[in-house]
Structures are given as C-alpha cells and as structure tokens.
C-alpha cells in the first residue's frame, strides 16, 4: 500500500492530501518516520567530526522533519475531528513518543556535543539567532534530565511516559463527557429563548441525530446563551450541573484520579531535576520566573475583581428576589440575571447584537485589519481539507506567498471543546523557504442549513484572538523552526492574540463589517456606542472565574501534591473568599489547558500576564490616535510578530515599547480601576 503520508506532496502549497489520507496510514507512517528520526539522531551523536553548530544543532533542527510532518497532520485531525480509531492511535502514540523524546534528551553522546558547543559558545562566531537556538537547545536538554544518572534517569523516563498516557486519557475522557450529554428541549422549553438560540439548538439536534427536535449540548457557544436566556431555572440548573461536572461523573471517564496522579508525578519530576516544586521548574523559563511573581500579579487583580463581583451579586440577588425566587443567587442564575441587567442598564441583549456579528463578516473583518496593519491579503482556496466545515485561504503580501490559513469554526461532537491555533507546517529557512500552514479551530454554534452563522460578542472576540495567534505564525521570519512563530515563552504567547482582540472594538471596523444578517445595514451608531460602552460590563464575574482557575493551578503545582484533590480545590477557593454564585472557569477535572498536556500547567496565569502587555501595547496605537498607524504596526511586526522566540520575550517587548508595563492598563481595560464601571 502506498502511504500518502510518506510520499512527496504535489498538492497546491504542498498541503496534506486529505482526500487520500486514511486512519490506517498513520501508524505505519509514525513507525517509519520514528525509525528515520532515530537514525538521524544516532548519526549526529556518533559523528566522528568535532562538534560544530552545523553538524550538531542545525542537524538536530532537521532530524525530525518527516516525523514532524506526519504528527502535525495527525494531531490536527485528531483534535478537530476525532474518531474511535484516532483516539486509539493517540493512546498508542503517547507512550511511544514519550519514550523517543526521553531517548534523545538522555543520549549522553549527543548531549556531550551540545555541552561542548555551549562551553565554547563565545568562540564559535554565531549570529544572535544561532546563539539563542544553542542556548535554548542546551537548556532544554538540561531540563529534560540530560545530566541525570542511573535510577533517577530511569525514573524520569518512566514518569514522562506515564504523563503522556495520562494527558491523553484526560483529554479523551473530557471529550467523551461532552459528546455523551444533551438536554432535549420540549416545545414549551423554547419559550423565552431568542430565535438564534432556537435555531442553534435545532441544528445541534440534527448534528447529534435527534431529528427535528432541539437540544442543548455542552458546547460553550450553545450552553452559555441557554444559561443567559432560559427562564426555566430548573433547566438552567440541569444544564449548568452537567457543564461543570465534565470529567467528574464517576465511571470510566472520571478524571479526578488521573489529575491526582499527574500532580504527584509532576512533583516527583521536579524533585528529580533539583527543583522545590513543579511550578518553580516550569516558571524558570517564563517571563514571570517565579511562583511568587505570578501570585503577586494575580492577587493585585483578584482583590478589586472580587469586590466588584460581590457588588454585582448583590444587584442580581435583588433582581431574583423581585421575581419571587427565594434563596441564594446560584451559579446557574448569574448569567440569566446579568443578561437581563445588561439589557436594562445598557439597552443591550445578545439577541439584538448577534445578527450584526455574522461569522463570514467577522472573518472578513479580521482579514481587513491584518491587511491594513501588515499588508497581507487572503484569497479563498478550493482544496480538500480534513472536514467539510473547514475552509482555506492563501495569504500573500506584495504578490509573494506567505502562508495557507485554514479556518474550522463550527462545533461538532467529534471536536474537542475550546478554541486553538495550530500549525500543520511551521515557518523556517534552514530547509529552504518553508512557509507555514496555520489552522484556527473554534466551536461556534452551527446554524441550520441556509441560515447565516451568527456569533456572540464573546465568540467574535475568540475569532480575533485565535487569528492573532495565526498572524504570529504567518508573519514569522526566522531561520530555525524551533523558535518559529508561537514558539515563545508561555506567558508571552498570548500577547499577539489578546492584542489583536482590540481591533474588533475599533468603531470603524464595526461600522464596516458589523452588518445585519437580513437587511445588510451596518450596526446603528447608537447601538455600537452602547455596545462599546458596555465592554467592561460583568468583568467582576469574568475576572473572578478566570483568576480562580489560575490560582488553583498555581497552588496545585507550587508545593506538595494534594492528598485529596477536590478538598484542596475547595480549601483554596475558601481561602480566596470565592463568591458563592461564581465557580472556576475550568474546574480541575475539566481543566484541559493544564492536564491534557503540560503546556499551561502552572501557567494558566499567562493570559493575564500577557494582558498586562496587550493593554499597554494597544496604547501605542492610541497614543498616535490611529489604530492602523503604519509605523507602530511596522514596529509591532518587526519586534513581536516576526521574531518568534529568537530573542528573549522581555527584550522583545522593551524593543517594541521602550519599557515594561504595569498592571494599571489591565485594571482600566477591565473596568476594575478606581474609576472603572460596568
């Protein structure tokens, strides 16, 4: 059998030939390219020539090219369109790839060559980018246990393999819980729901095979508006309890024992590597550097956010009691009364806003902003992708091909929850002028056939957020793939994405692209004014639910692992004074950022760390009274978007802004400063 994953791709832009790739191709392709990578690594380690940057570091950069190509295709497809066969492959690949990674990082002969280069680095005549790659490579080997010996070395290998298995299981359990639950709505249950929500519930029923009925699923773009608009408190409670119980339902998909084991293994791993805690180990390479620095930032924001949330809770409680509902304001009540309050105070509700936020128009808005800022243009491509809902564009600048951009926007039962940006191919120059293939994945409610896809304001921000990540990939201009695009410090990676969100709120962008789905008329200026004035509305709630997750994540990893996971979570929230009607944005058993891999472990704070910068960075445009100022945009691309991880993150920000920001701009942006409102 000819395996298309092992053949040269003659498709446009060397896109993966999705029309001929089958699930049966993945395992043989991984085995074959894994063997190739092992041979390449052995050739580097056993090279009789003296170590040089070219025969060691650059050779390492190229050694896994075929394997990277296969895995990039597989994991993009497995995350966005899972099948039982793909889930089984994920379980098979996880320990195999972890073992391979440990082989490399603990290859003594290979590390001796890297260590030799590091010792002679000042005499090698390296460029600044090469020096950075050498430092990062040497550091990654040290942090992976290259100097460990004997039992400690073997134990770390075992830990890494087990963590890979557990992370895969965590993500698959969460997807199973999300896929396995629906709330069927009888005709009378639709009373009070806006048209867009009824339509979305009908489309979800069709996607789940429920015929012409209506269902609520655990997709955020469906369950949140249901919690906002359903007057049925009993149904809101049922939906909310299912949403917050993901990963903690008992049985085969329960994640609590998995998390307990993950935390214990991470703590043990940090100890083997000489660190006091996993948080200390993880944060060493980030901008924050230490757990104390993270905690200091989060608590500076927690106090005003909690105070604002408590004030808002009092108002919502009074509204609920005026409805004749006795008892405490509960988490399943907050969004319902908050939506009603926003309607009363700002003359806004989601049903009025959504018709102006069509998906296609918001995609065009993001493209338009990118064109005005960076001169890039987007042309639709008629190519076969991994799912019919996905679509692609060629990205060019001045007639030169820059990237392929893939957008996959609709929720489906085969897609894991959330939104993310990934790359099927990353930019680099070492193996030729390799341009990226970048993918944005979201989970917006799919409309009924023939109807326009309407976004909530939060959905539209998510689209801009993920597109900011995509620009970071597409505008990358470095030599080495290991530092390309979003390969930066975790608490810096969210800067481009969160910064790009600001352009969605530029009035001229809304005026041009926020057009009514039926009439085509632009959003009235009065409505736009009310909408922009209300952007800080309910930020006490939003900030508290986020910070609670970030602080629990940090506490779990900064010290010994908890003996009783959920008890410790409850203790942390109690110590913080968590308001009763607000819960963590991601409760521990469903906290995929932190436990389906270790990308955001000890680092969920990074969204807020980056927000301190993005609030300040957008002020660079405001200071010249032009959100599309060409000089500021040029500096942003030169110092942030094109450089990847080729320079230390703090230095990059200093080059762009001339100083590091304080927390003040963030508090102002969220309406949590002394003058804030909403």
Residues marked as catalytic: 466
Report the Cα 507 to chain-centroid distance in Å. Answer: 27
At 199, is the secondary structure helix, strand, or coil? helix
- Burial category of 335 from C-beta neighbours within 10 Å (exposed 0-12, middle 13-18, buried 19 and up): buried
What is the arrangement of strands in the sheet containing 437-444, beginning at the earlier edge strand? 376-381, 391-397, 400-410, 437-444, 420-425
Question: Minimal CA–CA distance to 546: which of 486, 604, 497, 596?
Answer: 604
What's the CA gap between 638 and 652, in Å, rounded? 9
Question: Is residue 304 within 8 Å of 314, Cβ to Cβ?
Answer: no
For 487-542, the DSSP string reads: -S-HHHHHHHHHHHHGGGG-HHHHHHH-B-TTT-PBPPHHHHHHHHHTTTTTHHHH
| φ, ψ (nearest 5 deg) of residue 392 | -135, 155
| φ, ψ (nearest 5 deg) of residue 606 | -60, -25
Q: How many of the other CB atoms lie within 10 Å of CB of 663?
A: 18
Question: Is residue 395 within 8 Å of 380, Cβ to Cβ?
Answer: no
What's the CA gap between 151 and 163, in Å, rounded? 18
What's the CA gap between 164 and 168, in Å, rounded? 6
Q: Which two tokens stand for residue 291?
A: 């757990």
Which residues, listed in sequence order, are joined to residue 435 by a DSSP beta bridge? Answer: none
- Burial category of 623 from C-beta neighbours within 10 Å (exposed 0-12, middle 13-18, buried 19 and up): exposed
Q: Which two tokens stand for residue 659?
A: 């100083």
Give exposure, 368-400, as e/b (b: 16+ Cβ within 10 Å): bbbebbbebbbeebebebbeebbbbbbbebeee
Q: How many of the other CB atoms lie within 10 Å of CB of 677?
A: 12
Q: How many of the other CB atoms lie within 10 Å of CB of 321?
A: 12
What's the CA gap between 650 and 614, in Å, rounded? 13
Residue 137: which H helix or E strand, with range? helix 128-143
Question: Is residue 211 within 8 Å of 202, Cβ to Cβ?
Answer: no
Residue 439: which H helix or E strand, with range? strand 437-444
| φ, ψ (nearest 5 deg) of residue 183 | -110, 110
* Three-class secondary structure assignment of 56-67: HHHHHHHHCHHH
Report the Cα 568 to chain-centroid distance in Å. Answer: 26
Query: Cα dihedral sign for 522, 461, 413, 19?
Result: positive
């Amino acid at each position: 059998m000819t395996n298309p994953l092992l053949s040269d791709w003659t498709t446009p832009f060397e896109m993966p030939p999705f029309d001929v790739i089958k699930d049966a191709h993945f395992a043989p392709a991984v085995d074959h390219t894994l063997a190739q990578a092992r041979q390449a690594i052995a050739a580097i380690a056993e090279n009789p020539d003296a170590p040089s940057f070219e025969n060691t570091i650059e050779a390492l950069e190229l050694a896994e090219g075929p394997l990277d190509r296969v895995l990039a295709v597989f994991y993009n497809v497995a995350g966005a369109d899972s099948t039982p066969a793909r889930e089984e492959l994920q379980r098979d690949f996880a320990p195999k790839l972890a073992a391979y990674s440990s082989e490399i990082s603990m290859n003594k002969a290979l590390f001796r060559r890297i260590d030799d280069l590091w010792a002679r680095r000042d005499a090698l005549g390296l460029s600044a980018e090469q020096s950075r790659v050498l430092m990062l490579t040497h550091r990654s080997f040290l942090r992976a246990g290259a100097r460990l010996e004997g039992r400690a070395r073997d134990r770390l290998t075992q830990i890494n393999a087990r963590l890979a298995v557990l992370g895969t299981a965590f993500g698959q359990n969460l997807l199973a819980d999300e896929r396995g639950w629906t709330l069927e709505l009888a005709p009378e249950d639709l009373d009070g729901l806006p048209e867009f929500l009824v339509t979305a519930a009908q489309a979800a029923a069709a996607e789940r095979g429920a015929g012409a009925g209506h269902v609520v699923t655990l997709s955020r773009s469906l369950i949140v508006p249901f919690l906002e608009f359903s007057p049925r408190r009993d149904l809101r409670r049922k939906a909310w309890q299912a949403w917050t119980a993901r990963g903690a339902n008992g049985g085969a998909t329960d994640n609590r024992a998995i998390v307990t084991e993950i935390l214990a293994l991470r703590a043990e791993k940090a100890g083997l590597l000489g660190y006091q805690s996993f948080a200390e180990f993880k944060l060493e390479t980030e901008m924050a550097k230490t757990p104390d620095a993270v905690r200091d930032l989060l608590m500076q924001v927690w106090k005003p956010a909690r105070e604002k949330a408590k004030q808002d809770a009092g108002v919502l409680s009074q509204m609920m009691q005026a409805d004749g509902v006795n008892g405490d304001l509960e988490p399943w009540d907050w969004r319902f009364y908050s939506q009603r309050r926003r309607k009363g105070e700002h003359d806004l509700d989601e049903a009025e806003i959504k018709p102006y936020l069509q998906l296609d128009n918001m995609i065009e808005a993001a493209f338009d902003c990118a064109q005005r800022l960076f001169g890039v243009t987007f042309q639709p491509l008629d190519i076969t992708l991994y799912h019919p809902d996905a679509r692609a564009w060629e990205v060019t600048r001045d007639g030169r091909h820059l990237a392929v951009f893939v957008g996959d926007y609709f929720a489906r039962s085969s897609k894991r929850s959330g939104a993310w940006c990934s790359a099927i191919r990353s930019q680099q120059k070492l193996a030729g002028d390799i341009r990226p293939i970048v993918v944005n994945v979201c989970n917006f409610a799919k409309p009924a056939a023939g109807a326009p896809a309407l976004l909530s304001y939060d959905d539209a921000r998510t689209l801009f957020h993920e597109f900011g990540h995509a620009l970071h990939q597409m505008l990358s201009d470095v030599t080495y793939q290991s530092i390309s695009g979003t390969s930066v410090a975790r608490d810096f990676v969210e800067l481009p994405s969160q910064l790009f969100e600001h352009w969605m709120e530029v009035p001229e962008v809304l005026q041009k692209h926020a057009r009514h789905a039926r009439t085509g008329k632009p959003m009235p200026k009065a409505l736009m004014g009310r909408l922009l004035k209300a952007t800080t509305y309910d930020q006490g709630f939003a900030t508290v639910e986020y910070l609670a997750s970030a602080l629990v994540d940090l506490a779990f990893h900064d010290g010994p692992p908890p003996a009783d996971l959920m008890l410790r979570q409850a203790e942390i929230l109690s110590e913080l004074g968590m308001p009763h009607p607000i819960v963590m944005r991601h409760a521990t058993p469903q906290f995929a950022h932190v436990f389906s891999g270790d990308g955001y472990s000890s680092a969920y704070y990074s969204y807020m760390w980056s927000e301190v910068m993005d609030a300040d960075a957008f002020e660079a445009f405001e200071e010249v009274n032009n959100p599309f100022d060409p000089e500021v945009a040029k500096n942003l691309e030169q110092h942030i978007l094109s450089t990847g991880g080729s320079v230390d993150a703090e230095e990059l920000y200093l080059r762009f802004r001339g100083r590091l920001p304080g927390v003040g701009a963030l508090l102002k942006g969220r309406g949590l400063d002394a003058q804030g409102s909403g």
